[in-house]
Every structure is written in C-alpha cells, then in structure tokens.
Amino acid sequence: MLPLTLLLPLSAIVLPVHGEVVKNGSTCIVTPLSDTNAAFAVPRSDGGGLARATVDDTPQILSAFSQCGQDGTIILRPGTYHIRQVMDTTNLRNVSVEIYGTLIWSADNLSYWRQKSFSVTYAGRQTAWRIGGRDIALRGFGQAVFDGNGQAWIDLARGASNLDGRPISLTVWHGTNVLIDGITWRMAQFWHTFVAYSQNVTMTNLVMNTLSSNSYSSQNTDGTDTWNSKDITISNWTVTCGDDCIAIKGNSSNVHVSNVVCHESGAMTIGSVGSNARQPDYVENIVFENITAIHSSNSAWIKTYPGTGYVRNVTFRNIYGEDVNQPIYVTSCIYSYQNCDSSHLAISDIRWENITGTSRYNVAAAIHCSGAAPCDNLHFSDINIKPKNGGTAKVLCSNIKNQATMGLQCTGPCPGSHPQQLSGNV
Ligand SMILES: *[C@@H]1O[C@H](CO)[C@@H](O)[C@H](O)[C@H]1NC(C)=O
Ligand SMILES: *[C@@H]1O[C@H](CO)[C@@H](O)[C@H](O)[C@H]1NC(C)=O
Ligand SMILES: *[C@@H]1O[C@H](CO)[C@@H](O)[C@H](O)[C@H]1NC(C)=O
Ligand SMILES: *[C@@H]1O[C@H](CO)[C@@H](O)[C@H](O)[C@H]1NC(C)=O
Ligand SMILES: *[C@@H]1O[C@H](CO)[C@@H](O)[C@H](O)[C@H]1NC(C)=O
Ligand SMILES: *[C@@H]1O[C@H](CO)[C@@H](O)[C@H](O)[C@H]1NC(C)=O
Ligand SMILES: *[C@@H]1O[C@H](CO)[C@@H](O)[C@H](O)[C@H]1NC(C)=O
Ligand SMILES: *[C@@H]1O[C@H](CO)[C@@H](O)[C@H](O)[C@H]1NC(C)=O
Ligand SMILES: *[C@@H]1O[C@H](CO)[C@@H](O)[C@H](O)[C@H]1NC(C)=O
C-alpha cells in the first residue's frame, strides 16, 4: 500500500528540479529530467501503477541550443525526453546535434500544438520544430527516436485531410548545409519532415513508421516534402506511412533520392504542384533511383493542379513495386479532376527507366496531360509491370506530344477523370 500522500492528482505535484544542461567548453550535454529525479515517479490517477508526472524537457533542450547552437556541440544523452513546447532553433551555425535518446511530443493538449506551432507558409501548414541556419548536423546514430504521439492526431483528424494546425514533426527552415542522419520516427504528428527555403540538405539513414492502429486513415503522414529548396540528397530511408513517401513540391531543384523502401505509401511523387494559380511552381533536375514500393498507391508519379510553371528533367530509375494500385500516374488536375485540359503547368523531359513489379489491378500506367500544355519528351525503357492476379497491364495515355516515340505502347486514352487510385480492373 502506497502512503496516502502519494495519491495526489498529478496536477498537484510541484516539480522540484530545473533542467540541468551541463556546459563544458563549447559542448552542452543534456540529460532527460525524468531520468534524473526519482520524485517524478508518481502513481497514475487511474490506479494503473507508476507513471511520470508532466515533465517538460523542452526548456533545457532550448537552453542547450542557445548556449551551444553556434560553433558548438549539443548532446542529448540516452533516455526519454518529454517535449511539451514548440521549438524554434533557426539561428544555428556550425553545430553538431547528437541525439541518443527518445523524444516524445505531448498529446494531452492538442490545442496547444494547433495554436502555437510555427507557420511554414506552404498551404497554411505548421510545424512543431523548425531548425535553420548553416552548417548543421543533426544525428541520431540509429538510436534517436522521435515519437509524435501521432495516433492522437489521427484520431483528432478522424480521417479528414490537412487538419489545420496539425504540426509537421521537423522542418528544415532557411537551412544551408544541413545533415540529418540516423533518426527513427514513430507515429509522427503529421508529415515527418519538411524542407523549405533551404539549400544543400542531406537526409540519410532515416526510418519512419506512422500507421493508424484504428479505422481512421493515417493520411498526411508524408515521409518528406521539399519546397522552395535545392541541392537535396535523400538516401537510405525505410518509410511506412499512409501518404506520400517522398514528395517534391514547387520550386524544388537538384534533388537526388536513392535507396528508399516505402510501405503503404504514395512512394515517389512530384507534387502536388500548381495549387496556387497566381504563383508558378518550378520543379527540375530530380532523380529517384533504387526505390522499392510495397503495397503502395502509386510508385513513380506526377501530380499537378491546373496551374502554371513547369516540371522538367525528372528521372525515375530502378523502381520495383509490389501490389501497387497504379504504379505510373500523371495527372494535370489532381484531387478535383476538373479543368484537366486547361492547365498550363508544362511537364517535359521525364524518364521512367527499369520500372518493374506488380500492379494491384490491370493498369501499369495512366497519364493524362493537359490539352493546353501536352507533355513532351516522355521516355520509357524497361517497363515490366504485371497485374498481380495475372493478365496484361494497360497503359492509358492522353495529350503526350511524343507518344509515338516515347518507348511505351499506349493501349487506350486516359480521361482527365481517371482517378489516382483504382478500386478494380478497368
Ligand atoms: C570537459 O571536456 C574535456 C575535454 O573534452 C574533458 O577532458 C573534461 O573531463 C570535461 N569536464 C567535465 C567536467 O566533464
Ligand atoms: C566550429 O565549431 C567548433 C567547435 O564546436 C570549432 O572548433 C570550429 O573552429 C568551428 N568552425 C568554424 C569554421 O568556425
Ligand atoms: C492547452 O493549450 C492552450 C494553448 O496554449 C492553453 O490555452 C490551455 O490552457 C491548455 N489547456 C490545458 C488543459 O493545459
Ligand atoms: C553541403 O553540406 C555538407 C554538410 O552536410 C557539407 O559537408 C558540404 O561541404 C556542403 N556542400 C557545399 C557545396 O557547401
Ligand atoms: C546506406 O546504407 C548502407 C548499408 O547500411 C551503408 O553502407 C551506406 O554507407 C549508407 N549510405 C549513406 C549515404 O549513409
Ligand atoms: C516559385 O518561384 C517563383 C520564381 O522565383 C516565384 O515567382 C513563385 O512565387 C514561387 N512559388 C512559390 C509557391 O513560392
Ligand atoms: C537533368 O538533371 C540531372 C540530375 O539532376 C542533371 O545532372 C542534368 O544536368 C540535368 N539536365 C539538364 C539539361 O539540366
Ligand atoms: C542504384 O542501383 C544500381 C544498380 O544496382 C547501382 O549501379 C547504382 O550504383 C545504385 N545507385 C545508388 C545511388 O545507390
Ligand atoms: C533494375 O532495377 C532493379 C531494382 O528495382 C535492379 O535490381 C536492377 O539491377 C536494375 N536493372 C538494371 C539493368 O539496372
């Protein structure tokens, strides 16, 4: 029997210690609060044994960033860090951030995150953590875990798309020369990562795993989205998520994606681009290679709204899919399936090389380009996609300038209304 005094409600417990960042020269070492003080172990109000009180490690982490975020090293020692506040660490310079612990973002007050998360401009989206500045390495050594308590967000959104204020886990914001390596995400709040207004960003050896455990879908849990950024390298990722795995959005250039395995996702996509008719979106010089897409919606695809700008010089190479709903897909009118032939967003110089595996239904490729801006210079080689239940796969095409010489035999037209995902053979 526990002494009566321990049976106070959690809110009545006054936390006695402050975060201790130990600074030694230019290195700041952070130890999780809940590991330093046994007083944090309190009985759960539901009688279910011991739990931690509402510890918040955010102040000490932010203190380490302000003390050692320029010409320094920040070390988060092993253990569990409770993140209860937004983090804006955008003035970094020449810093190595070394994370050995698990960071858990709180989910007992989702209104807090919806109100306080930082705007990232794109489509009104927000983020719980922005990092920016120059010469930044954020490494997890295969040990760091970022746990966004995403099921709470999936349940709040109830399957609706883009719930306002639902925060992106980590955003690279106005960052130059940034390395992110060796981190595992589980149950991210929204997109796992976002790269915006940044240059020379390398993201390697990342694992992401966010799937709903109930009937609400885990949509908007993209692995990453890039926007208004250039010179990006993405390599060695394993992603399980309910939405796009790697999505290259407007004004992205020189992006190289390789050795990525995606489960349950939209795999490799350009888009959505062209959402704002008043602003052109430019995407160019993109390579996706050595990609595996398992039980995915699509695998090598381009989605635009009827907008302006261009998508050009994109290569999808060595892409293997298993049970992919519609592996190759191009649309000029994503989501609305309207005004499909009035888009002026030009798609040209796109290569699909060595795209193999199985489709869920009898379509390997469905390509609807805008009548007002037909696709040009599409090139296909070594396309070998078979329906998983046998038979031959169709290739549907509309408004492709070089259709006769593109290297793939079309079997019929692709109307603008042809959906991104099929529910059976067509
Ligand atoms: C501070 O760092 C130096 C050099 O890395 C090390 O020799 C020393 O033991 C450290 N001091 C403390 C108090 O940890
Ligand atoms: C970067 O920071 C380290 C300390 O972490 C320092 O030794 C080094 O001189 C800095 N580099 C530059 C270019 O300032
Ligand atoms: C939740 O966060 C909001 C916004 O910061 C705040 O106004 C409110 O008091 C918080 N609610 C609780 C129960 O802490
Ligand atoms: C790009 O960033 C990396 C660090 O991630 C750095 O080593 C490299 O020098 C940078 N490249 C250029 C061209 O500045
Ligand atoms: C990718 O993973 C392989 C195998 O683990 C490793 O050898 C390689 O160095 C990694 N690449 C990068 C860029 O980290
Ligand atoms: C993309 O870049 C162009 C040209 O710099 C600019 O006019 C446009 O506003 C940008 N689009 C977005 C969505 O930022
Ligand atoms: C196309 O993109 C590739 C990969 O980024 C790049 O090497 C090549 O120079 C680009 N071609 C043109 C014509 O810009
Ligand atoms: C992709 O795979 C091909 C064939 O296995 C290999 O030659 C190439 O080096 C790989 N590319 C990368 C970036 O790993
Ligand atoms: C085609 O891609 C597969 C991976 O999907 C790779 O194993 C194979 O080596 C590639 N073939 C060629 C000729 O590069």
For a ligand 1 pocket test, name from 21, 23, 24, 98 the mutation site with the most ligand atoms within 8 angstroms of its C-beta: 24
pLDDT band at 159 (very low <50, low <70, confident <90, very high): confident
Q: Where are the alpha helices (DSSP H) in 130-240?
A: 150-157
Whether pLDDT at 297 is above 50 = yes
Ligand 9 neighbour 402 (Cβ under 6 A): no
Separation of alpha carbons 52 and 416, rounded Å: 54
Task: Classify 249 as helix, strand or coil.
Answer: coil
What are 359's two structure tokens? Answer: 């489709």
Q: Residue range 320-334: average pLDDT?
A: 98
Ligand 5 neighbour 290 (Cβ under 6 A): no
Q: Residue 302 — φ and ψ, nearest 5°? A: -135, 125
Point out the least confidently predicted range of 26-40, 131-145, 207-221. 26-40
Percent of the chain with pLDDT over 90: 89
The pLDDT of residue 20 is 80
Summarize pLDDT for 101-133 with one digit per residue, the tens.
999 999 999 999 999 999 999 999 999 999 999
Q: Which residue, by CA, sits nearest to atom 6 of ligand 2?
A: 71
Residues paired with residue 282 on neighbouring β-strands, in sequence order: 310
Q: Residue range 4-17: average pLDDT?
A: 43
The atom of ligand 9 lying closest to the CA of 356 is: 5
Q: Residue range 89-96: average pLDDT?
A: 98
Whether pLDDT at 157 is above 90 = yes
Contact 181, 143 (CB under 8 A): no
Separation of alpha carbons 170 and 60, rounded Å: 18
Contact 10, 45 (CB under 8 A): yes
What are 192's two structure tokens? Answer: 């796992």
How many other C-beta atoms can be found within 10 angstroms of the C-beta atom of residue 424?
Answer: 7
For a ligand 9 pocket test, name from 354, 356, 380, 383 the mutation site with the most ligand atoms within 8 angstroms of its C-beta: 354
Q: Residue range 356-372: average pLDDT?
A: 98
Whether pLDDT at 254 is above 60 = yes
Ordered by where they begin, the domains of the chain are 77-405 (2.160.20.10)
Percent of the chain with pLDDT over 70: 91
The pLDDT of residue 19 is 61
Q: How far is the CA of 24 from the centre of ligand 2 (A)?
A: 15
- The closest of 69, 74, 68 to 92, measured between CA atoms, is 69
The pLDDT of residue 34 is 83
Which sequence positions are flagged as catalytic? Answer: 243
Summarize pLDDT for 160-190 with one digit per residue, the tens.
889 999 999 999 999 999 999 999 999 999 9
Summarize pLDDT for 23-34 with one digit per residue, the tens.
999 999 999 998
For a ligand 4 pocket test, name from 95, 134, 138, 177 the mutation site with the most ligand atoms within 8 angstroms of its C-beta: 177
Output the DSSP codes for 104-115: EE--S-HHHHHH
The pLDDT of residue 36 is 59
Separation of alpha carbons 70 and 366, rounded Å: 50
Who's near 335: CB < 8 A, 6+ residues apart? 272, 305
The pLDDT of residue 37 is 55
Separation of alpha carbons 289 and 129, rounded Å: 29
Amino acid at 342: S
Ligand 5 neighbour 204 (Cβ under 6 A): yes
Whether pLDDT at 40 is above 70 = no
Separation of alpha carbons 266 and 59, rounded Å: 37
Ligand 7 neighbour 254 (Cβ under 6 A): yes
More confident: 230 or 14 = 230
Mean pLDDT over the full length of the chain: 93
The pLDDT of residue 10 is 42
Task: Provide the whole-model pTM.
Answer: 0.94
Q: How far is the CA of 89 from the centre of ligand 7 (A)?
A: 34
Q: Residue range 68-78: average pLDDT?
A: 98
Using the 8-state DSSP alphabet, how is residue 222 labeled? -
Q: Residue range 38-50: average pLDDT?
A: 51
**What residues does ligand 4 touch, defined as CB less than 6 Å away?**
177, 179, 200, 202
